Structure 1
Amino acid sequence: MVPSDPTTAGLSGERILVVEDDYYLATDTARAVRRAGGIVLGPCRNEAAARAALGTGTPTGAVLDINLGTGPSFDLARELRGRGVPVMFITGYDDAVIPEDFADAARLQKPVDLAEVVRTLGRIARGRSA
C-alpha cells in the first residue's frame, strides 16, 4: 500500500532520482514517489540515462537498483554522493555485495514495500539516518 497523502509521506517537493531496470518496479516506485508529493527524475533504466537526468537538476535523494543488468551501480552512487545526494539501494542481493564505503547506505531487499521506499527516501532526503 502506497501512502497517498503527501504530508504523511514526507516527500513533498523532494527531487528523487529513480534508477531501476525492471520496468514494473521502476514505474511503481516513480508512482509512489509522485503520490507522496515528490518530483521524479526518471525513472532511468541505466547509468547513462541517470546521468542525463542529472542534467535537469540535482536530486535531493536517489533510489538505485544495485544491478542494472550491466553491472553494479556503485560508480553512479559514488558520483551522487560526491554531489551531496544521499542514496538508497533496492536489491535482491545480500549485504556481502555492498562495498564498505556504502555500509551506512539505506537499502531494502526485493520484493520491496513501496510505503517503506517512500519513508526511507523521506528520511535520507532530509539528512536523517535511514
Structure 2
Amino acid sequence: MLAQDLAEQLIGAGCTVVGPAPTVQQALDEIDGIALHGAVLDVNLRGERSFPLAEHLTRDGVPFIFLTGYDSATVFPDSFRDTPKLTKPVDYNLLIEAVARFRKDGAAPG
C-alpha cells in the first residue's frame, strides 16, 4: 500500500512511474529496455534487499534514492552508504524534492 501511495504522489507531481514492483526480479523485468531518469528504491522488497537493483541502476548511470526504515550504518553496503536516503514514513514533499534532483535542470516534475 505504501508503494502505491508513493506512486500516486509522484504521478500527481508529474512523474511517469514504472511499477511499483514487489521484488527485485520484477523490477528488473519492468525496467528492461526503458530509459529511466531516476528511481526510488525501497530497501526491503518482500524480505529481499534491493541492492542488486541499485547495482544495475548504477551500472546504467541512473540516479536513485533509497527509502528505508533501517539504520543506514548497519544495513547499507559501503558502495551505497553515500546514496541519498529518505526514512519511512516518507515526507511526500521531501520525496518530490529528491526526485526533482534527477532532472538535469533541478526543476520539479510537471
How high is the TM-score relative to the length of structure 2? 0.86
Alpha-carbon deviation of 1:70? 3.1
Structure-to-structure mapping, 1:1-130, within 5 angstroms: 24-96=1-73, 97-126=75-104
Residues 106/127 of structure 1: CA separation in 2 closer, same or farther (3 Å cut): farther
Q: Is contact 1:41–1:59 with CA below 8 Å preserved after alignment?
A: no
How far does residue 56 in structure 1 lie from its aligned partner after superposition? 4.8
Higher strand share: 1
- Is the alpha carbon distance of 1:41 and 1:116 closer, same or farther for their aligned partners in structure 2, counting shifts above 3 Å? same
How far apart are the structure 1 equivalents of 2:95 and 2:36? 16
Looking at structure 1, the residues matched to 2 and 104 of structure 2 have their Cα atoms a distance apart, in angstroms, of 24
CA-CA distance at 1:71 after TM superposition: 2.0
Shift of the 101–87 alpha-carbon distance from structure 1 to 2, 3 Å rule, reads same
For residues 75 and 47 of structure 1, the distance between their equivalents in structure 2, rounded to whole angstroms, comes to 7
Q: Which consecutive segments of 4 or more residues in structure 1 shift more than 3 A?
A: 124-128
Where does structure 2 lack aligned partners over 5 or more consecutive residues? none
Task: Give the alignment's TM-score, normalised by structure 1.
Answer: 0.74
- Does structure 2 retain, via aligned residues, the 8 Å contact 1:61–1:86? yes
- For residues 1-57 of structure 1, give each alpha carbon's deviation from its aligned partner in whole angstroms, at most 9, with x where no partner exists: xxxxxxxxxxxxxxxxxxxxxxx1111111111111110011111112111211251
The aligned amino acid for 1:108 is L
